[in-house]
Amino acid sequence: MDEFRFELALCSYLESETGAIVARQLGGAVAEPGARIVDVVVLQPGTAFEKRARLSPKAIPTRAIESDVGAGQAVPRRNVFEGTSRGRRIVETAVEAGYFQLERRDGKDWVRATARYPDDWYDRLTAIENKPDLGSPGDLDDQITHDVALGLFDEVVLATASYVTRAHLNRLPEPVGVWQFDPETGERTVVREPSRLPVDDPGIEPTDRHPLRTDVAVVAPGEKRRKRLTIAERAYGKGWRPSLEAYPACAHADATGDCRPYCGQFGHVVDPGTDCGTDCPSFTPGSRPTCDPTEVRADRSPWIADPPGAVRKQAGLDRFIPREGDPGDERLSKSN
Kindly tell me which residue out of 151, 275, 297, 332 binds ligand SF4, with binding defined by CB under 6 A: 275
Q: Please, which of residues 225-254 interact with ligand SF4 by CB under 6 A?
A: 248, 250, 252-253
CB of 5 or CB of 146, closer to ligand SF4: 5
Q: How far apart are CA 57 and CA 53, in angstroms?
A: 7
Q: How far apart are CA 151 and CA 221, in angstroms?
A: 10
Say whether residue 280 binds ligand SF4 (CB under 6 A): yes
28: nearest Cα among 137, 179, 143: 143
CB of 148 or CB of 255, closer to ligand SF4: 255
CB-based burial label for 203 (10 Å; 0-12, 13-18, 19+): buried
Kindly tell me which residue out of 226, 283, 288, 292 binds ligand SF4, with binding defined by CB under 6 A: 283
Per DSSP, 41 falls in state E
Site string for ligand SF4, 296-325 (x = CB under 6 A): ------------------------------
Are 273 and 262 in contact by the 8 Å Cβ rule? The answer is no
CB-based burial label for 123 (10 Å; 0-12, 13-18, 19+): middle
β-partners of residue 148 are none
CB of 170 or CB of 278, closer to ligand SF4: 278
CB of 55 or CB of 263, closer to ligand SF4: 263
Q: Please, which of residues 254-273 interact with ligand SF4 by CB under 6 A?
A: 263, 265-266, 270
State the nearest-atom distance from the C-beta of 15 to ligand SF4, in Å: 24
Count of residues engaged in binding ligand SF4, rule: CB under 6 A: 13
Q: Which stretch binds ligand SF4 (CB under 6 A): 104-112, 278-286, 303-311, 326-334?
A: 278-286
β-partners of residue 178 are 158, 192
State the nearest-atom distance from the C-beta of 177 to ligand SF4, in Å: 34
Say whether residue 131 binds ligand SF4 (CB under 6 A): no
State the nearest-atom distance from the C-beta of 264 to ligand SF4, in Å: 7
CB of 83 or CB of 264, closer to ligand SF4: 264
Say whether residue 90 binds ligand SF4 (CB under 6 A): no
State the nearest-atom distance from the C-beta of 287 to ligand SF4, in Å: 12
Are 141 and 170 in contact by the 8 Å Cβ rule? The answer is no
Q: How far apart are CA 277 and CA 271, in angstroms?
A: 11
Residue-wise burial string across 216-250, b where 16 or more C-beta atoms lie within 10 A, e elsewhere: ebebeeebbebbbbbbbbbbbbbbbbbebeebbeb
Measured CA angle at 199 (ends 176, 158), to 5 deg: 20
CB of 100 or CB of 262, closer to ligand SF4: 262
128: nearest Cα among 205, 174, 180: 180
Are 23 and 302 in contact by the 8 Å Cβ rule? The answer is no
Kindly tell me which residue out of 16, 18, 25, 282 binds ligand SF4, with binding defined by CB under 6 A: 282
Residue type, 55: L
State the nearest-atom distance from the C-beta of 269 to ligand SF4, in Å: 10
CB of 283 or CB of 320, closer to ligand SF4: 283
State the nearest-atom distance from the C-beta of 7 to ligand SF4, in Å: 17
CB of 186 or CB of 286, closer to ligand SF4: 286
In the complex, the residues that contact ligand SF4 under the rule CB under 6 A are: 248, 250, 252-253, 263, 265-266, 270, 275-276, 280, 282-283
